Chain A
Amino acid sequence: MAAAATPTGEGSGPSGHPAVEVQGLTRRFGEQVALDDVSLAVRQGEFFSLLGPSGCGKTTLLRILAGLDLPDQGSVRIEGVDANRLAAHRRPVNTVFQSYALFPHMTVRDNVAFGLRMKKVSPTETAERVDRMMDLVQIRSFADRKPAQLSGGQKQRVALARALVNEPRVLLLDEPLGALDLKLRKELQVELSSLQRRLQITFVYVTHDQEEALVMSDRIAVMRAGRIEQVDESHRLYERPRTRFVGQFLGSCNLLDAAVRERRGESVTVDTAVGPLRLEPGALGTLDRRCFSLAIRPEKVLVLSPSEATGENRATAKVSQIIYIGSETHYILEAGSARLTAYALNAGAGAPTYSVGDSCVAALPSSSLVVLED
């Protein structure tokens, strides 16, 4: 991701406050804890995603930001203003709902104009802004249709226009692409993130689709069972997951149990099921345990021929399964008592280099080994 495109350097906007700041947010539904002491700050103008499996509390958090639900404990500040006692219709935020929630009895134009009418914006200005927004998201051509006459993708655009026309400080999106087919979803992902960059409006985007989150977001918060597991820039989240859950939810991950064998200053060697591995200097950080988990992404595991066996962090292995998916070949390797997955890009011509039963060497570069906290 280009550094210029990420507004993370700006920190906060002209007001000097984060766009959204929540502290110690807790929400229970009966016995179930939907949000458990969640704290979070979303920067001005950033595309921020809340990522997690269903039931992790991401939608509850979004609804609390919108004012459609209230926390049992904790505070919400929007642009530095305490929003806890601000009713939904007074908050400077707008929502794109998962079900779109378009007004079925209104035309597309009236749907888009609704927010401005509620704010008593003059009719001429309303018409002007509605037209401009409809042009921006390309829905002008069916402005006089009713929602029932629209396709899913069109409805999605109307829902987006209806929210954006109000020029909210923060736009909240609740899995807006969830109901669309894959191809349309990919198109709209790109469109949505370019729209966000152009408008410079802070987006808080809820999704359970890790790829979607990676494609669009500046930063991602991974949620699990009402808690935030990790908040980071998307590439850092992928490269340096802090927990097993983050590693496995965001892409796939080889996990190895590791025990410290030798510690010589910064340099650490660990015992694992595939043999001894050396870690990068400083990889342990402040971790003070002898046993922990190591993670390595499948595409970082290199499959080498036995003749290339010399070097650091190599393990002899046997190919037990090959999955050919066109652009890549996925190898399942038996290395020691462990099973490793390796993705190899099919850059050269011809069939995969190895076949089932072949002996090979798996290289696990120390720079790609990630020490997990749990």
Chain B
Amino acid sequence: MALGSREEVRFGERLTRAGQFLRSLSTSGPGIFWVSLFLLAPLLAVAVIAFLTRGPYGDFGGPFTLQNYRRLAGFGVLGFEPLYPLIIARSLVLAAGTTAACVIAAFPLAFFIAALSPRFKNVALTLVIVPFWTNLLIRTYAWQILFGAEGPLARLAAALRLIPDGSALYPGTFAVTVGMLCAYVPFLVLPLYTAVEKLDWSIAEAAMDLGADGPRVFRHAILPQVMPGLVAGIILVFIPATGQFVIPDLLGGAKTALLGNAIQQQFGPSRDWPFGSALAFVGMAVVMGGLWLYARVAGERGQELL
């Protein structure tokens, strides 16, 4: 009885330390096993492969090298060329733009849904989720048709003299933005809606009573309350949006490389697993770093502003 001779009362039961450990393992064990096998182990493999060398036939092995990361930073055989940093930056800009568009669209939508009567609320929430019932690829092809020169939206835009007669709305930034927005906005609407639903309106009334006009009521009394939902939504949109390349390819004309297709290129056609691994790792690090920075800035501003 060396281990766990001390007893503690937990949830009305007297258990030794060892007993507690075994009991918690019985509930969390499967989860730990699952995450280790399917997340940590592959991640570890990728981390190791990123330091290996590509063989002549797309295989990989020793010796350990930093060459993959050097190449990624732009130091290739032909001298300095920041191709990959640009790809990463482009992906981040795309993700940030998508997130911004989603925030702008999700705010009115979340408030609108929260204001509906319970019956219509459920209908509206279902409608927000309905697009997920269709494959992303099919949805994106559908946008191509809608944005095509013969499509109704392009005709409308032409009639309004926004674009020349007979031209299409895609490929282009507009089409990419719309495609990305529609693909990701549910991820922001749902957490934001949950926060709006829980809003304590008496705090907004107090702000009004103390002399705050509409915009200031929003900033001082409403925004701080929905912040947790907003932050969750932003993370849910931003992370997958950095890796997205199907939508920009199909609606943007496949002219530019993004992080997603760069990685896919390395693991697929180029058969350069070590370099692909390095790319994947740097992409992940950049996203994590960005989120950390965001959390710090938002946290600080929250402290002083809110």
Contact = CB atoms under 8 A, between A and B. Distances in A.
Q: Do A and B bind each other?
A: yes
Interface of A: 66-68, 87-90, 93-95, 97, 99, 101-106, 114-115, 118-119, 162-163, 166
Contacts of A163: 209-210
Given A101-B200, A118-B216, A88 B208 contact: yes
A68 B209 contact: yes
Nearest to B303: A105
Given A101-B200, A103-B224, A105-B224, A89 B205 contact: no
Contact of B210 (A87, A99, A118): A118
B13 to A, nearest CB: 32
Contacts of A89: 208-213
A175 to B, nearest CB: 13
Nearest to B202: A101
Interface of B: 200, 202-203, 205-213, 216, 220-221, 224-225, 302, 306
B224 A118 contact: no
Contact of A106 (B202, B211, B212, B306): B306
Contacts of A114: 207, 210, 212, 220
Given A101-B200, A103-B221, A114-B220, A162 B210 contact: yes
A101 B306 contact: no
B38 to A, nearest CB: 39
Contacts of A101: 200, 202-203, 205-206
Nearest to B209: A95
Contacts of B200: 99, 101
A101 B220 CA distance: 13
Contact of B202 (A67, A90, A97, A166): A97
B206 A105 contact: no
B208 A99 contact: no
A325 to B, nearest CB: 39
Contacts of B208: 67-68, 87-89
A94 B224 contact: no
Contacts of B210: 89, 94, 114-115, 118, 162-163, 166
B211 A104 contact: no
Contacts of B206: 95, 97, 101-103, 162
A106 B212 CA distance: 15
B202 A103 contact: no
13 contacts: A67-B208, A88-B208, A88-B209, A89-B208, A94-B209, A101-B200, A104-B225, A114-B207, A114-B210, A114-B220, A115-B211, A118-B211, A162-B206
Given A103-B207, A103-B221, A105-B224, A118 B202 contact: no
Contacts of A119: 211
Given A87-B208, A88-B205, A101-B202, 15 more contacts: A67-B209, A68-B205, A68-B209, A89-B210, A89-B212, A90-B211, A94-B209, A97-B206, A103-B224, A105-B302, A114-B212, A118-B210, A118-B216, A162-B206, A163-B210
Contacts of A66: 209
Contacts of A88: 205, 208-209
A104 B209 CA distance: 16
A206 B286 CA distance: 57
Contacts of A99: 200, 202
A99 B208 CA distance: 16
Contacts of B211: 89-90, 115, 118-119, 166
A162 to B, nearest CB: 7
